[in-house]
Structure 1
Amino acid sequence: MIKVSIIIATYNSGSTIRTALESVRKQTFLDWECLVVDGASKDDTIAIVKEYCENDGRFRFVSERDHGIYDAFNKGWRLAEGEWIHYLGSDDSLTVDGLEKVAAELDEKYAVVTGDVFLKRANGTLREQEHHGMFGCHQGVLMQRKVFEEMQGFDEQYRIIADYELLVRVKNAGYVAKNVRVVIAVFSIGGESQKLSSQWEKMWERYRINKKHGVKKFPFLSSMIDFLTLSITSVIRGN
């Protein structure tokens, strides 16, 4: 039986973490572990997580100061015991049967298996994420743990889109990915990488990544187009 490690990075996430953990607990897929990597929260995050750990041994947590979300993500996959890794935001949730459906497609020959994600606006309405295959948001991505080891995880110099940079390296290394048209998670819009104030930094990171890895012929132009498209779309849709 394949085991999936669900990793959640938290910091002062008391207002949202229970919903995320409940969505994990209610999975129809049973062979999972959930590892919460906390950045020394000062609210009730740790108390809530401990409650789940005491009631279900599949929940584990560690709490210590970190250097940002990708530092926490790297700690997570190193501590994980599952063959496959999935990252969930502390204000996101899994669909009840999404992992079960995707797990049926997990295979040693694939480094990455991706599903679909619904985006949740601040007003509670949902829309399906535009389909980007291997390069969708991390809530829709499962990757083999051994691939994290071989690629040495996330490059923490990228503060906003190190997950994108890792997937670029994985693709360039010749690994095979598979997409399953199943909704895995609901992603709450409004995280650090979604703020309009962060989009210039995101664009700059994408430019550096694309240039470094030879993703596109005109990386700056492509990054600028991505930035403008996202900014205009966010305004039109009220994100």
Structure 2
Amino acid sequence: MGVKFSIITVCFNSKQTIEETLDSVIKQTYNNYEHIIIDGKSKDGTLDIINRYMSESKKVILLSEEDTGIYNAMNKGIDLASGDLVVFLNSDDTFEPDALELINKYYNDKIDLIYGNVSWQEKFKGKIYEKELNLAPNMSQSNKKNNTHIMSKYHLEKIQNAHNATFVKTAIIKQNLFDEQLKICSDYKFFLNMYIQKRKVLHIPYRITNMKMGGISTTQLELGLEEHVKCEIDMLKYSYIDINKRKLEIKKTELIKRITKSLLPPKMYVRFRYLNKGWSLK
């Protein structure tokens, strides 16, 4: 029978993207899963799309009601989860067709978290550019039998970019719900807890999820940074990040993006923004 997966998708007015997300789940080569969708009372036709999929698949579970924020919605999904492993797939993300099959192949019940690689995808002038992130930690010591590690600061750095390709034991995540007081970084706080609890983690070198890159404002980035540092100081009594230096880097990066996008011809911008930085045309 293998592993049963609880895939949780939180959405609100996601009509433009959620069909592709649902398609990527229903087309999995491994089908022992439930797909829990937590909708915040969408008004744009999102629910019509979900209901159509529910008529085609008994694996879809829908809860549509108002929530107090994304982490409140995610906790509702955790409460409904009945699988062995939980993963959060955003309403504009997609799985690779063999994502669940690969996780099932490499998972064993001594592993607390298992994750793979993520492909960042961004659209420019009607074309999609992508970059796969190899999120394997550079570590010398491992369990030779199954290559598992105790959760480390290296995993924290990598998993931040792979939350939607990270599968967590359901029993563990039910005991470590997301902090609903945080607006952006409660998932980082969760993984920080996994680090403190010395959970066992395994990385597999395969692309699991495709993640669409959105336009996050500088204000949101700075709020996320502040929450990130607060979590580390509260829980570790120190932070890995120089917050003032990082805020300057955020402002500089956003300024360069705006200037180059407005001044460079499209072909030069593609070379500067994507091709010279390891991205490729999908």
Q: Normalising to structure 1: TM-score of the pair? A: 0.90
Question: Residues 148-192 of structure 1: CA distance to partner in whole angstroms, max 9, x if unpaired?
Answer: 1222x111111112111100001101211111111111001116x
Distance across 2 between alignment mates of 1:139 and 1:218 = 24
Number of the residue aligned with 2:236:
214
Q: What do residues 62-104 of structure 1 show as CA deviations (whole Å, max 9, x unaligned)?
A: 1000011111110001101111001011011111112211221
- Computing the radius of gyration from Cα coordinates, the structure with the larger value is 2
Structure 1 position 30, deviation (Å): 1.1
| 1:171-186 matches, cutoff 5 A | 171-186=195-210
**Is the 8 Å Cα contact of residues 102 and 182 (structure 1) preserved in structure 2?**
no
* In the alignment, structure 1 residue 128 sits paired with structure 2 residue 132: yes
Amino acid at match of 2:179: D
The Cα RMSD (Å) is 2.1
Is structure 2 residue 188 aligned with structure 1 residue 188?
A: no
Report the alpha carbon displacement of residue 224 of structure 1 after superposing the two structures with TM: 4.4
Q: Is the 8 A contact 2:229 2:239 kept in 1?
A: no
Q: Is the 8 A contact 1:29 1:99 kept in 2?
A: yes
Alignment TM-score, normalising by the size of structure 2 = 0.77
Where does the alignment leave 5 or more consecutive residues of structure 2 unmatched?
136-156, 258-271, 275-282
Does residue 150 (structure 1) correspond to residue 154 (structure 2)? The answer is: no
How far 1:126 moved relative to its partner?
A: 0.6
Q: Residues 42-57 of structure 1: matches in 2 within 5 Å? A: 42-57=43-58
Q: Which amino acid is 2:186 matched to? A: A
Pick the aligned partner of 1:198 from 220, 240, 246.
220
For 1:98 and 1:83, the matched residues in 2 are separated by 16
Count of aligned pairs: 234
In 2, Cα distance between equivalents of 1:213 and 1:167: 12
Partner of 1:66: 67
Unaligned runs of 5+ in 1: none
Per the TM alignment, residue 12 of structure 1 is displaced from its structure 2 partner at its CA by: 0.4
Q: Distance in 2 between matches of 1:98 and 1:4?
A: 11
% identity of equivalent residues:
27
C-alpha distance 232-44 of structure 1, shift in aligned 2 (>3 A): same
Which residue is equivalent to 1:141? 166
* Cross-structure match for 1:32: 33
- Answer whether contact 1:27 1:99 (CA < 8 A) is retained: yes
Deviation at 1:120, TM superposition (A): 0.8
- Match in the other structure for 1:75: 76
Query: By how many angstroms is 1:229 displaced?
Result: 5.0
Does the CA-based 8 Å contact 1:93-1:185 persist in structure 2?
A: yes
